[in-house]
Amino acid sequence: MEQFKTIINSNTPVLVDFFATWCGPCKMMAPILEQVKSQLGENIRILKIDVDKNPALAQQFQIRSVPTLKIFQNGQVKWTGNGVVQADQLAAVIQSVTRLQAT
């Protein structure tokens, strides 16, 4: 939990994917997240949180469905989305809310 707080308090934007191993749409997000990471490179950190293994975090951030994506920067939630989000759309949202440029 402390490590999670340290990560999301970073100046580097963090995309957190709250997922479950049994969730079909969550599995669809894995290659999308890889694509986003390749587009944005070191400008973004992507963190996957299994809600079944981390119920306290899921409760703290009011995760009601999976996948839920949240973008944090300096400890603040900049954006929240639910369901499968396409790579180009997700990269555009990240760049918009964090003022990042693609690499």
In a domain, 26, yes or no: yes
Q: Whole domain around residue 18: which residue ranges?
A: 2-98
Q: What is the pTM of this model?
A: 0.92
**Predicted pLDDT of residue 100:** 66
What's the domain count of the chain?
1
The domain spanning residue 49 has which CATH number? 3.40.30.10
Question: How confident is the chain (103 residues) per 10-residue block, as mean pLDDT?
Answer: 88 96 97 95 94 96 97 95 96 88 55
Q: Max CA-CA distance within the chain?
A: 35
Contact 17, 49 (CB under 8 A): yes
Q: CA-CA distance, 70 to 65, in Å (whole number)?
A: 13
**Predicted pLDDT of residue 101:** 58
Give the catalytic positions in this structure: 23, 26
Residues linked to residue 79 through DSSP beta bridges, in sequence order = 71
For residue 12, what is the DSSP state?
S
In a domain, 50, yes or no: yes
In a domain, 103, yes or no: no
